[in-house]
Amino acid sequence: MQTKHAALLIRLARLAILARFDARWQELLSHVEAKAKIISELNQHNGIFVTLNEWPSGKLRGCIGFVHSNLPLWQTVQQAALAAAFNDPRFVPLTQEELDNITIEISVLSQPEIIKTADEAIQTEKQEKALLKKIEIGKHGLIIESGFYSGLLLPQVATEYKWDSKQFVQQTCWKAGLNKDCWKQQGVVIYRFSAEVFTETKPRGEVKKENN
């Protein structure tokens, strides 16, 4: 995705939150939406996550997204931004005063790819190594599903915590509410995906791409 288009998505995310606080922002939001509607790249149906970070500490303040969406990106990013600001169960809802000291990061997801089906079980060291070789730290994010349980971690999380592939898949099991070795069991599906990550350098500041 072009950085200028990602910057437009981040602007939509911020305006959607502002409009929730004060309806007077709705007119500007509608104006920016009109710009986004005519850009083909912003009408794709990719998954997207919006991450809110405190500035300048970088401390997480909210992160919600959608792996799949029937809506174009310019609409999905607004839904994710509102959810990250007001519905992340780990945090109290964002206040208008806080928003002035929040940077917005977006992760535009590729289509998830299955790397382990529910029928498979990892029983040998050779099988374990073969699966872990399919996970490239810094490039891939992971999704683990088992029945009603599911967990997702974005690519940048493994980089931030300096995990190797095994630690990454174990942490995704924890995120799903399962034991750390669930990834070896039958009935568990593992997906990998990539993400283009863009972030503000400061609140309302320049937008840069975080990965290549």
Q: Which of 138, 142, 122 is nearest to 183 (CA)?
A: 122
Q: What pLDDT was estimated at residue 212?
A: 57
Query: Average pLDDT in the 57-83 region?
Result: 95
Whole-number mean pLDDT of the chain? 95
Confidence of residue 137 (pLDDT cuts 50, 70, 90): very high
DSSP state of 91: S
If we measure between CA atoms, which residue out of 142, 51, 47, 143 comes closest to residue 88? 51
- The verdict on 17 and 68 lying in the same domain is yes
Q: Write down the pLDDT at residue 114.
A: 97
70 and 137 within one domain:
no
Instruction: Identify whether residues 124 and 167 lie together within a single domain.
Output: yes
What pLDDT band is residue 37 in, cutting at 50, 70 and 90? very high
Whether residue 142 sits in one domain with residue 89? no
Let me know whether 40 and 83 are in one domain.
yes
- Whether residue 96 is predicted with pLDDT greater than 80 in this model: the reply is yes
Q: How confident is the model at residue 192 (pLDDT cuts 50, 70, 90)?
A: very high
Residues 64 and 117 in one domain: no
Phi-psi region of 151 (alpha: psi -120 to 50; beta: other; left: phi over 0): beta
Same domain? For 16 and 71 the reply is yes
Mean pLDDT (whole number) for 12-39: 96
User: Mean pLDDT, to the nearest integer, of 37-46?
Assistant: 95
- Stretch 100-111: mean pLDDT: 96
DSSP structural state of residue 202: S
> What's the pLDDT score for residue 127?
96
Residues 95 and 117 in one domain: no
Domain of residue 96, residue span: 3-109
Assigned domain for 96 exists: yes
Count up the domains in the chain and report the number: 2
What is the CATH classification number for the domain harbouring 68? 3.30.700.20
User: What residue type is assigned to position 179 of the chain?
Assistant: N
In one-letter notation, the amino acid at residue 36 is A
The residue among 81, 109, 137 that closes a domain is 109
CA 162: distance to chain centroid? 18
Residue 209 domain flag:
no
Percent of the chain predicted with pLDDT > 90: 97
What is the token pair recorded at 138?
């810094």
**Residue 210: band (very low, low, confident or very high) from pLDDT cuts 50, 70, 90:** confident
Q: What residue type is assigned to position 181 of the chain?
A: D
Mean pLDDT of 161-168: 96
Average pLDDT over residues 36-50: 95
